[in-house]
Amino acid sequence: MAILADKNTRLLIQGITGREGSYHAKQMIEYGTNVVGGVTPGKGGEWFEGRIPVFDTVKEARQATGANATCIFVPPRFAADAIFEAIDAKIELIVCITEGIPIADMMRVRTYIDASSSRLVGANCPGLLTPGQAKVGIIPGYAGLPGSVGIVSKSGTLTYEVMSALSQRGIGQSSCVGIGGDPVSGTNFIDVLQMFEDDPQTEKIVLIGEIGGDAEQKAAEYIKTKMTKPVVAFIAGKAAPEGRTMGHAGALIESGKGTHAEKVEALKAANIKVADHPEQIPDLL
C-alpha cells in the first residue's frame, strides 16, 4: 500500500501553465504520475504538452477527468483562493507547494478545510512521493527507492537528503511526506504518523523536525502512547540563534521555547532514537 497517493491517483495541477507549475508538471509526468489535467483561469481549452487538458476551474476539471487530487503552484496572493476552489470541488487530496502565504489566509483555509472532507498537505511544502508509483510536488523522484520506511518531514531538502542516504544503503521507502514548517498548515506529524501506523507496507518511520513550536513534542507523546512501529528522528536547527527565523516561517525560537534541546529531550523520553546528523539515520534504523 501507499499513503495519500499511488499509481491510481488522478492528479490535477493548479497553475500548470506558469513557470514553476509547468516545470514540475513535466517532472511528475515523467516520473509516471497519473496527471489527468491542469487548471489555469482563462486558458481553458488549451493542452499542456499536447495531451493534458487545461481547464478554467477545478470544478470543470474534476467533472471531466475524475481527478481526486491536486497540486497547487499558484502565487501567494492567489493560493488561498486556489485551495478554497479545490475544497469546493471536493478534491480529496490537496497539496499546496506555494510558500509565503499570509498566516491570516492560512487560518481561514484551516477553518474551511476542517469543515470539509478534503485533506491539505502544506502549504510551503515539497509535497509527497510514493517511490515507484506517484510524485505529487517537487520531491526528486530519483532519490527514492520502493520499500518499507515511511518518512515525514518539515524540511524539504532534508527529506531529499535522508531519502538519498537510505536509498544508497538499499533501504527503500513506502511513502515520503513533506508537511512543511509554517505555523499554520493542513496536515501535521500526528496525522501522517497515524497513516504510517495503519499502513501494512510501512515497517519503520523517520521523523524529521526542526526548531520552533511544539509539534515534535506532541508527536513524541503520540508515538509513546499510540504507536507500535519503531521511529527514528532528526531535529534540524541545533545551532540556530534565538529570535531568528531559520528557513521556514515556523522555525523560530522565542523566549527559550521550541529549542532543539527541548525537542530532543521529548523524543528520547519517548524511547525514540535521535540522530545527531542525517547520515546517521540509516544506521539507527
Residues forming beta bridges with residue 69, ordered by sequence position: 11, 93
* C-alpha cell belonging to residue 181: 514548517
Q: Please provide residue 162's backbone torsions phi and psi, each rounded to the nearest 5 degrees.
A: -70, -40
Rounded to whole angstroms, what are the CA distances from 4 to 80, 96, 137, 152, 208? 21, 14, 13, 12, 19
**Sign of torsion over alpha carbons 200, 166, 94, 16:** negative
The Cα 51–Cα 36 span in angstroms is 9
The DSSP output letter for 272 is -
Residue that has been written with the C-alpha cell 483562493 in this structure: 81
Q: Which one of 24, 248, 260, 277 is the catalytic residue?
A: 248
Q: Would you call 248 a catalytic residue per the annotation?
A: yes
Q: Are 166 and 142 in contact (CB under 8 A)?
A: no
Distance CA 159, CA 251 (A): 16
Catalytic residue numbers? 248
